[in-house]
Chains A and B, each alone.
Chain A
Amino acid sequence: MANKRVAPQPGRKPGVVKQSKKTSSSNRAFYLLAAGLGVAGIVALTYQSTRGNSVTRANPVDTTLPPVKSEGYVIGAATAPIEVVEFGDFECPQCGRFATLTEADVRTRLVNTGMIRYRYIDYPLPMHGNTWNASRAAACADEQGKFWEMHDAIFANQDRWDTQATSKPDKLLKQIGGQIPGIKADQFDQCVDTKKTQAKIQAHLKIAEARQVGGTPTFIFASDKQTEGFLTYDQFKKFVDDAIAKAAKTPAAAGGDTAKKSAPLTPIKKG
């Protein structure tokens, strides 16, 4: 490894040898290795960023659209003691896990029994290329009173239409929506194609930003306790129990007096 420098150097006395630590041959091997690593890294990054994942095509906040008023989608009785708000992103994997694993129990045991009223507000995150398409499609289903059915179907089929799966999500979302019983497919398709619900999603995004929601899913229990990330049913229930207990003590704390009375409760469909 070490070679000896015998040539006299300025400031050092001739004849004195100092051990040098590296040799040119080991340097050559190193530079080859570094170049290999460099090329591999650049190839990997280029591959990752050109997989049709670019969100520039899919972050369509259009400031020229006239603002509409919308505060998300509500399910549950207006008389429920508390409201739980979810800020969700249809393409976020944790939201998908919550929707497919936990939400069925939340609806049958908490919403349908009148313990809570549940509100879903879109918070499309910029790194999810197809999430706006999904939010718009869900809003289109809402026009026919089928939001929750579409919500469940979108999450159940997340891997079919997400950024990894396709660069043309509308086609798949129309397929998924068209299978919802009772939906008028023509009307739904036209709504998706014309992006007419765009302003509504922008209104939801504004609420999320105003509340400084960090990530998805974020749950807010009775306008008070806020938590981020996947919850099991037991964890969710604990937050609900605490919020109800608190609301019972201070009735003013129970949130959501603006809630609209919602349509008959639909249990979540699995798969």
Chain B
Amino acid sequence: MTKRQWMALISLAGLFLGAYLTLYKFGVIGQLACNVGSCEKVQTSRWSVFLGLPVATWGVGFYVLMLTLSIAGLQPRFEDSRRLSLVMMLLAGWGVLFTAWLNYLEAFVIHAWCEWCLGSAAMVLLLFILAWLDWRATPDDSAFENELASQS
């Protein structure tokens, strides 16, 4: 499997995780399965809402975007696009910063850990690493053009 395929699968898994926490937040799911940490404490804290929407819902949006981009990146039209790799890397980089902030809050402000949030943080980090590797491995379009030029 290619890096972009892995990214699509991870984004899909992240999407379901975010949906699970969002459904909990909106009261559709009554109780979180949470064996290790204190998910409820984290999920009911004031930090679980960002700009009027649950943090988990922002996560769903993030994963939908990553999933769309990585599936687009599998299509013949974009499969060699380095620009797409760059966009995915920047988006995942932003995700890493955001989850780092959330993890900081869990550790030092809320004093509780939510295993689902940690799982999501790990997935975002993995997405960023894959996006970075993909970006490095995708040949530069301009280099390709230069190569063409030199052969003519």
Contact = CB atoms under 8 A, between A and B. Distances in A.
Contacts of A126: 27
Interface residues on chain B, size class: 35 or more
B1 to A, nearest CB: 6
B80 to A, nearest CB: 7
A26 B2 contact: yes
Name, among A48, A52, A125, the residue most crowded by chain B CB atoms within 10 Å (CB to CB). A48
Contacts of B152: 13
Interface of A: 1, 12-13, 16, 18-22, 26-27, 29-30, 33-34, 37-38, 41-42, 44-45, 48-49, 51-56, 59, 92-94, 125-129, 162-164, 212, 214-216, 228-230
Interface of B: 1-2, 4-5, 8-9, 12-13, 15-16, 19-20, 23-25, 27-31, 38, 40-41, 43-46, 74, 76, 79-80, 110-112, 138-139, 144, 147-148, 151-152
Contact of A229 (B20, B43, B112, B144): B112
Given A16-B148, A37-B9, A215-B44, A127 B27 contact: yes
Contacts of A44: 16, 20
Given A22-B79, A41-B12, A215-B40, 11 more contacts: A18-B139, A20-B80, A22-B74, A30-B5, A44-B20, A51-B30, A127-B40, A214-B46, A216-B44, A229-B38, A229-B41
A260 to B, nearest CB: 30
Contact of A94 (B16, B38, B79, B144): B38
B74 to A, nearest CB: 6
B12 A215 contact: no
A164 B80 contact: no
A12 B20 contact: no
B80 A18 contact: yes
Given A13-B151, A22-B2, A30-B5, A37 B31 contact: no
B13 to A, nearest CB: 7
25 contacts: A18-B144, A21-B79, A21-B138, A30-B1, A30-B2, A30-B8, A30-B74, A33-B9, A37-B9, A38-B12, A44-B20, A45-B20, A48-B20, A55-B27, A55-B30, A127-B25, A127-B29, A129-B30, A214-B46, A215-B40, A215-B44, A215-B45, A228-B41, A229-B38, A229-B41
A93 B79 contact: no
A93 B74 contact: no
A45 B20 CA distance: 6
Name, among A18, A44, A212, the residue most crowded by chain B CB atoms within 10 Å (CB to CB). A18
Given A20-B80, A45-B19, A54 B13 contact: no
Contacts of A38: 12
B13 A37 contact: yes
Contacts of A129: 30
A12 B30 contact: no
Contacts of A49: 23, 28-29
B80 A41 contact: no
Given A20-B80, A125-B44, A216-B44, A13 B1 contact: no
A53 B29 contact: yes
Contacts of A16: 147-148, 151
A78 B16 CA distance: 52
B13 A21 contact: no
Nearest to A15: B151
Contacts of B9: 30, 33-34, 37
Nearest to A38: B12
B30 A128 contact: yes
